[in-house]
Amino acid sequence: MFRYLTQRAIAFVPTLIGVSILIFFAIRLVPGDAIVAMLGTEAGMLTQTQRESLEVYFGLDKPPVEQYFSWMGGVVTGNLGLSVRHGQPVLNLILSRFPVTLELAVMALAIALLIGLPIGILSAIRHNSAIDLFGRLLALVGLATPNFLLGSLIIVVLSVVFKILPNSGDFTPLHVDPGKNLSQLIFPAFTLGFSFSASVMRTTRSAMLEVLGQDYIRTARGKGLASGVIVRRHALRNALIPVITIIGVELGYLLGGAVIIEEIFSLPGIGRLVYNAISQRDYALVQGVALFIAFNFVVINLITDLLYAAADPRISYGQHA
Amino acid sequence: MRKAFFALVLIALVALAISPAAAQGNVLVMARAADTTGLDPHTQTAFASFRLLELIYEPLVSLDADLNVIPALAESWNFADDGMTLSFTLRQGVKFHNGADFTSADVAATFARILDEATGAAARANYLNIASIDTPDDYTVVFNLSAPDVPLLAALATTNAAMVDSADIESGAVATVANGTGPFVLENWTPEETTTLSANADWWGDGPNIDGIEIRIIPDEASILAALRAGTIDFALLNDPLVATLLIGDANVQLNRVPAISYHVLQLRAAVEPLDKLEVRQAISCAIDRQEVLDTASLGEGIVTGPLTMAAFALPTDELFCYEKDLDKARELMAAAGMSDGFTLKVIAANAEPPTALSEAQSIQAQLAEIGITVEIESLELSVYVDRWLAGDFEAAVALNGGRPDPYTMYARYWQSSGNLNNVAGYIDETLDDLMARGRTETDPEARYEIFAELQHHLTEMAPWVWLYTGYEYTAQLPAVQGFVPYPTDSLIGLAHVTLSR
């Protein structure tokens, strides 16, 4: 097990280096630099000396390859660089925004599982019943509704009908005021969780249907086991593998920040941070966040793989099989 | 699992019940979509930055709601007869937020900083005629000019020329301390989230009448609207006419509109074929119904404008060349240019700034098709657009360009052969150079008006650009906010005088 973890951790390195090279040069291939992004058309009024001093300030005066190595030199020692627009270390900015994104992602995941799993299981057990039909319809709606539409509708209903709007730009962290914090996150989390629940539901349903048709389930039934026990102990556990896979992938995306949802609900998360950084050509910040997101992804992949083993004892990472 | 679900619902309900429904107290809660990009008043250029910094910092002179120059930190001023010196008498007893007295030494240090190229000051180019600054006593400042420069006075009325404490300049702290003399003091700034301002009790002016301002960044304007309707904010800055106009007729929210001095324009580059032919440019100008562009792109939210947008210099548009759509004339002009068969014109437009750019381009596309011109629209991300615009790498561009209170300052960059952006403007002739040079030195207001009236006639006739319309600047507020005066520059300085009655 330990050996497996070490091997996986070493395999992280080339992945992250690949991502770092890709993002470093991709953001520089986009036309427009930080100076133009900051000054707009006023950049045309700069004298040569002014422009040069700004280039030094933004670190644009050195060749890209040299910039890359000096950046990577910092990354290795835990220094992701300085965001020129915020005047703060990139790592601090990420760490200050990440709790919001993490909380949102976890809540969205919880909501998705609370809606998706039970309906998915019920749909499979009562195959082609009214419940199944309802569940499939809900999944169709969930998948077909863009979350910016659902989010905007929720905001309109809350503000116009109920005259309340928890998200009016005064985000409160969990430890400051848990009640207010939850009231601000529950609606965006629901918005994200709703469409996510649709894929959870459909995956659960089809995986369950497949498992329920297997011989060993028929055997279990034949042995006279209660149907609850069959579903929980024999069917669900085996059906969980694809569900875990999809949770892993979705969580990876969610931890990268939900740009649109963060924008319309004005949450200061990772998504908004990187969105602004891209439009402002804040290279160090874009690179730092991208690397952070990539890191999250590989870690989640690892956890997903470990969960496979937990869900299905036939999968083991202890020895070479 | 079911228990957990109910627990979550319960938590959400409790949370909703205890969350405050409305803004409270004597602090104004304001929302806007974009945050300031920094705190250094001299280097900022974004409108979003000015909207914060103008509450904290003050220049020597400022503008009233009609864009006339009025006293601010200077009580009075005087141009010497030859226009070569401009002297100011400073207001006495003014203090910076850190308690230091404001004196002539701060004025001299501030301008030394602005004129220093290494500062990267945004408005530096407007002050190059300042040869030296004398400070005979603590409250007198004399600007010695290298050439007569009448527009200089109005050019000083900007946050980009705000007074900062000479001690902060020395310690290099200007960009971080936000130590001004203005009506509000910066307490806290969390970028892209909230900014907290408290009232400056020692402010020389009449106000503020509120205890402070809490500025929240809500990136989506539709969400700002929702927050206003829910009463969780008192005041909002809005940019998108499509969002702002949703408030028309709303009994609980008041929408303020003032015609802006920035202008929407179709820039033609006369340096490119076939736009180098005067007749072709004129034909384009004659073929475009400006009101139709305004109606299509901005729901009619604005007014058709000539080159100068400030009330003191704007001309009635029916005096200007081809402001009435005239297709026959346009076709004749095309024929005269030997272009009866039309041609293909590439127009660049930014995809979000202004939000109406693409719709404007499409309206122009439809209208120019009537005289055989095929318009190809290139929709570009803003930074890419700005890059190409600055390089003059386009045939035509839909643009929203900033206005200035003084016509010379507004167009010096474009319509002089020495202008930094003359290459972007793509056109110059001797008449323009001559008119601009005279507009700069003429001290008599009436003669100056005539010069700039001639400039506008000449510009519309040569049609290097097709000026379209000015939009409105929008703010919205709850009825509890009283006494707010909106400015054509979108300035929020009116907040120094508002009262809150909840």
Domains observed in chain B: 20-54+182-260+473-500 (3.40.190.10), 61-176 (3.90.76.10), 263-470 (3.10.105.10)
Q: Which of A37, A264, A273 sits opposite B223 (nearest CB)?
A: A264
Q: Across the interface, which of B120, B220, B383 has its CB nearest the CB of A32?
A: B383
- Distance, in Å, from the CA atom of A93 to the CA atom of A97, rounded to the nearest integer, reads 6
Tokens representing B421 are 């952006």
Residues of chain B contacting A268 with CB distance shorter than 8 Å: 192-193
Tell me which residue of B116, B421, B118, B123 sits closest to A49, measured CA to CA: B118
Is the CB of B223 less than 8 angstroms away from the CB of A266? yes
Strand, helix or coil at B26? coil
Distance (Å, whole) CA A148 – CA B137: 61
Residue B333 CB neighbours (<10 A) = 25
Q: How much is the pLDDT for B6?
A: 53
ipTM of the complex: 0.72
Q: Do A169 and B233 touch (CB under 8 A)?
A: yes
Shortest distance between the Cα of B267 and any Cα of chain A, in A, equals 14
Rounded distance between C-alpha atoms, residue A140 and residue A142, angstroms:
5
- Under 8 Å between Cβ of A16 and A265: no
Question: Strand pairing of B499-500 and B481-482?
Answer: antiparallel
Would the CA dihedral through B69, B73, B76, B82 be positive or negative? negative
Amino acid of residue B386: V
Tell me the DSSP string of B265-291.
EEEE-TTSTTTTSHHHHHHHHHH--HH
CB contact at 8 A, B125 and A45: yes
In terms of Cβ atoms closer than 10 Å to its own Cβ (0-12, 13-18, 19+), residue A15 is: middle
Calculate the alpha carbon distances from B201 to B28, B150, B165 in Å. Answer: 16, 35, 19
Q: What is the pLDDT of residue B24?
A: 63
Residue for token pair 């929720």: A154
What the block records as the tokens of A198 is 């649709």
Query: How does pLDDT run along chain B (502 residues), one tens digit per residue?
Result: 445 555 555 555 444 444 444 556 799 999 998 888 789 999 887 788 899 999 999 999 999 888 889 999 999 999 886 778 999 999 999 999 999 999 999 999 999 999 998 887 878 888 989 999 999 999 999 999 998 888 899 899 999 999 999 999 999 889 888 999 999 999 999 888 899 999 999 999 998 999 999 999 988 888 899 899 888 899 999 988 888 988 988 888 999 999 888 999 999 999 898 999 999 999 999 999 999 999 999 889 999 999 999 988 999 999 999 999 999 999 999 999 999 899 999 999 988 778 889 999 999 999 999 999 999 999 998 878 888 888 899 999 999 988 888 899 899 889 999 888 888 999 999 999 999 999 988 888 899 999 999 999 999 999 999 999 999 989 999 999 999 999 988 899 999 999 998 7
A90-320: CATH class = mainly alpha
Give pairs for B255-258: CB < 8 Å, separation 24+: B255/B474, B255/B475, B255/B476, B256/B474, B256/B475, B256/B476, B256/B477, B256/B484, B256/B486, B257/B301, B257/B472, B257/B473, B257/B474, B257/B486, B258/B65, B258/B472, B258/B473, B258/B486, B258/B487, B258/B488
Of B156, B167, B155, B233, nearest in space to B194 by CA: B233
Site from A30, A39, A51, A109 to mutate, B interface, most B CB atoms within 10 angstroms: A39
Tokens read off for A232: 């929980």
Nearest to A266 among B45, B191, B217 (CB): B217
- For B245, phi then psi, to 5°, come to -70, -15
Which candidate in B1, B5, B6, B8 is best for mutational testing of the A interface (most A CBs within 10 A)? B8
CA nearest to B357, candidates B422, B476, B267: B267
Distance of residue B119 Cα from the nearest chain A Cα, in angstroms: 8
Interface test with chain B among A159, A259, A267, A285, by most B beta carbons within 10 Å: A159
- Report domain extents, chain A: 90-320
pLDDT at residue number B211: 95
Give the pLDDT of residue B14: 47
* Interface contact flag, A264 B19, Cβ < 8 Å: no
- Cα A47 to Cα A44: distance, rounded to the nearest angstrom: 8
Nearest by CB to residue B194, choosing from A36, A85, A170, is: A170
Nearest-by-Cβ selection for B383 from A31, A50, A272: A31
Contact B232 A179 (CB under 8 A): no
Q: How far is CA A218 from the centre of its chain?
A: 39
CA–CA dist B47, B354 (Å, integer): 13
Classify residue A237 by burial, with Cβ atoms within 10 Å: 0-12, 13-18, 19+.
middle
Indicate whether A34 pLDDT > 80. Answer: no
Query: Is the pLDDT confidence value at A131 over 90?
Result: no
Q: What is the pLDDT of residue B44?
A: 83
- Rounded alpha-carbon distances, angstroms, from residue A168 to A4, A162, A217, B214: 47, 15, 52, 12
CA closest to B20 among chain A residues = A166
- pLDDT top residue among A4 and B229: B229
Closest CA to A168 of B213, B248, B193: B193
Q: In what order do the strands lie in the sheet with B212-217?
A: B184-190, B194-199, B212-217, B27-32, B235-238, B472-477, B254-259
Name the residue in chain B with its Cα closest to that of A111.
Answer: B5
Of B192, B420, B421, the CB nearest to A268: B192
Q: Tokens representing B179?
A: 């130590």
Chain A residue numbers with beta carbons less than 8 Å from the beta carbon of B390 are 36, 41, 43-44
Strands B194-199, B184-190: parallel, antiparallel or unpaired by DSSP? antiparallel
**Residue B38 confidence (pLDDT):** 83
Contact criterion met (CB < 8 Å) for A266 and B218? yes
The residues near A67 (Cβ < 8 Å, ≥ 6 apart) are A24, A59
How many CB pairs (< 8 A) connect A and B?
A: 176
Rounded to the nearest angstrom, the gap between the alpha carbon of residue B459 and the centroid of all alpha carbons in its chain is: 22
CB neighbour list of residue A258: distance below 8 Å, 6 or more residues apart: A101, A104, A147, A188, A192, A269, A271
Using an 8 Å CB-CB cutoff, list chain B residues near A147. none
Cα B161 to Cα B147: distance, rounded to the nearest angstrom: 20
From B37, B233, B413, residue closest to A168, measured CB to CB: B233
The predicted pLDDT at position B182 comes to 95
Residues of A with Cβ-Cβ distance to B16 under 8 angstroms: 164, 166, 183
CA angle B408, B412, B415 (to 5 degrees): 110
Q: Tokens 């736009």 — which residue?
A: B275
Handedness of CA B192, B194, B200, B206 (dihedral sign): positive
**Most B CBs within 10 Å, among A171, A183, A273, to test the B interface:** A183
Phi-psi region of B68 (alpha: psi -120 to 50; beta: other; left: phi over 0): beta
How would you classify residue A172: left for phi > 0, otherwise alpha for psi between -120 and 50, otherwise beta?
Answer: beta
- Residues B218, A158: C-beta atoms closer than 8 Å: no
* B125: helix, strand or coil: helix
CB B498 within 8 A of CB B210: yes
Interatomic CA distance for residues B7 and B366, integer angstroms: 58
A132: Cα within 13 Å, side-chain hemisphere: 11
The pLDDT of residue A321: 42
The token duo for B370 is 């009537």
Name which of A200, A63, A58 is nearest A120 in CA terms. Answer: A200
Asked whether the predicted pLDDT for residue A174 surpasses 80, the reply is yes
Interface test with A, best of B30, B32, B127, B192 (most A CBs within 10 A): B192
User: A114, B124: Cβ pair inside 8 Å?
Assistant: no
Q: Do B227 and A85 touch (CB under 8 A)?
A: no
Mean pLDDT check: name the lowest of A38-47, A280-289, B239-248, B366-375.
Answer: A38-47
Of B219, B226, B387, nearest to A156 by CB-CB distance is: B226
Angle at B6 between CA B3 and CA B9, to 5 degrees: 150
* Rounded-to-integer distance, Cα B146 and Cα B83, Å: 10
Bridge-based pairing state of the strands B254-259 and B374-380: unpaired
pLDDT for residue B18: 43
Question: Residue B399 has what pLDDT?
Answer: 92
Q: What's the whole-model pTM score?
A: 0.79
CB contact under 8 A, A179 and B19: yes
